[in-house]
């Protein structure tokens, strides 16, 4: 190759590389990420991973994340991006009316992010830095503010699972909110929202200004956290039984108590209630099948032989069927009342935890109405 042409090519390559490097360096998201990265945290728990960050609040360094990020995690740890494990205080602060958690940080050398004090503006650019999809690495997503409320904001930044607890930041490096939850309309018949952005996925962050904090010891927090996790587990287990396809062999509704109970931390009795209910459903199915089969085989003979062994056996089978009906009704009643009584007996400490427990209680009621608890089983949509 001609040396002149070669030098010209290398010069163009160098200029192109420089342009790319300058473009990366000038990216607002990258520049802001590099500025705040010492304050970003990866949170690992016994049941998953999420995001968090260090903030300067009331003159102290605080770990900020969502309360649900720590749920079920015992123990949990927070690490900076350089691998430093944070030393945390012994008091856990929960938002009384929101899904936020705050813990004092004893590593004073870690810089804290500053909370935004100005009111957010619609269409203002925002940046979300956190553990997207639980990959164990901090990533960047960016978007704009789509909606503003007194305690939350809606953004277009496409954060996902694992981003819970991530800071939502303005371009000046201040924190405007905490990435918390995603919602989506699931009703295909809602013609009012059809064709609008409100029928799509919507992402929300909680604001940190004017939060009412409630202090808990780690023991208090994990006791309540385990209770919420048990209620959620209970609902998933109950769904498996209520909407299970009938098995071809007895027991017709399979529920392995010895295995399932290992998932319950605060109240294994919840697992027992489902096990009793599944057993009662299976027994009733078996009694019904035997009675129906017997009636088909000897029904006519029973009409003319009132005192025969055939009639006696038919009566016995019918009595056993009614006993199974009563057993199912009792198990059903215990299944509905047991969780409700347990929920009402707890001191939930915060309104947000109490509201969440009542939500799961409503779910239990709906499951019982739409499953085997109704005279005619309904098939879920």
pLDDT tens digits, one per residue of 4-49: 554 454 444 454 554 445 544 568 999 999 999 999 999 999 778 9
User: 289: which strand partners?
Assistant: none
Give which of 253, 235, 255 is closest to 244, Cα–Cα.
253
The mean per-residue pLDDT over the stretch 75-94 comes to 94
Q: How far apart are CA 266 and CA 290, in angstroms?
A: 40
- Domains of the chain in start order, with CATH, are 1-215 (2.40.10.120), 220-370 (no CATH)
Token pair in block for residue 372: 């085997």
User: 79: which strand partners?
Assistant: 42, 85
| Angle between helices 351-370 and 309-345 in degrees, nearest 10 | 160
What pLDDT score was predicted for residue 10?
Answer: 45
What are 99-151's pLDDT values in tens digits? Answer: 999 999 997 789 999 999 888 999 999 999 999 999 999 999 999 999 999 99
What pLDDT score was predicted for residue 303?
Answer: 61
What are 224-254's pLDDT values in tens digits? Answer: 999 999 999 999 999 999 998 888 899 899 9
Work out the pLDDT band at 300, boundaries 50, 70, 90: low
Residue 320 has pLDDT above 60, yes or no: yes
Token pair in block for residue 287: 């009694």
Task: Please state the pTM of the whole predicted model.
Answer: 0.83
């Amino acid at each position: 190759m001609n040396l002149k042409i070669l030098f010209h090519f290398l010069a163009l390559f160098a200029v192109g590389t420089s342009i790319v490097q300058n473009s990366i360096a000038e990216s607002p998201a990258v520049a802001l990420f590099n500025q705040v990265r010492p304050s970003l945290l990866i949170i690992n728990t016994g049941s998953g991973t999420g995001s968090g960050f260090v903030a300067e609040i009331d003159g102290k360094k605080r770990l900020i994340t969502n309360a649900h990020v720590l749920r079920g995690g015992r123990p949990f740890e927070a690490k900076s991006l350089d691998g430093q494990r944070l030393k945390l205080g012994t008091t856990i602060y929960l938002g009384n009316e929101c899904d936020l958690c705050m813990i004092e940080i004893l590593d004073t050398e870690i810089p804290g992010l500053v909370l935004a004090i100005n009111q957010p503006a619609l269409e203002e650019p925002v940046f979300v830095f956190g553990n997207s999809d639980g990959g164990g690495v901090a990533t960047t997503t960016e978007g704009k503010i789509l909606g503003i409320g007194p305690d939350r904001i809606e953004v277009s930044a496409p954060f996902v699972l694992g981003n819970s607890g991530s800071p939502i930041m303005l371009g000046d490096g201040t924190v405007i909110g905490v990435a918390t939850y995603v919602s989506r309309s699931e009703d295909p018949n809602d013609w009012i929202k059809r064709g609008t952005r409100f029928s799509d996925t919507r992402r929300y962050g909680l604001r940190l200004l004017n939060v009412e904090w409630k202090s808990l010891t780690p023991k208090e927090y994990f006791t309540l956290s385990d209770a919420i996790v048990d209620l959620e587990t209970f609902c998933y287990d109950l769904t498996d039984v209520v909407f299970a396809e009938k098995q071809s062999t007895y027991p017709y509704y399979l529920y392995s108590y010895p295995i399932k109970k290992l998932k319950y931390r605060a109240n294994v009795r919840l697992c027992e209630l489902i096990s009793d209910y599944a057993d009662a459903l299976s027994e009733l199915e078996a009694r019904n099948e035997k009675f129906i089969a017997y009636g088909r085989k000897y029904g006519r003979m029973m009409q003319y032989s009132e005192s025969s062994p055939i009639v006696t056996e038919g009566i016995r089978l019918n009595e056993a069927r009614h006993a199974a009906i009563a057993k199912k009704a009792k198990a059903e009643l215990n299944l509905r009342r047991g969780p409700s009584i347990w929920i009402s007996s707890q001191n939930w400490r915060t309104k947000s935890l109490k509201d969440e427990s009542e939500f799961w209680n409503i779910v239990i009621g709906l499951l019982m109405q739409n499953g085997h608890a109704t005279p005619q089983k309904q098939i879920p949509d």
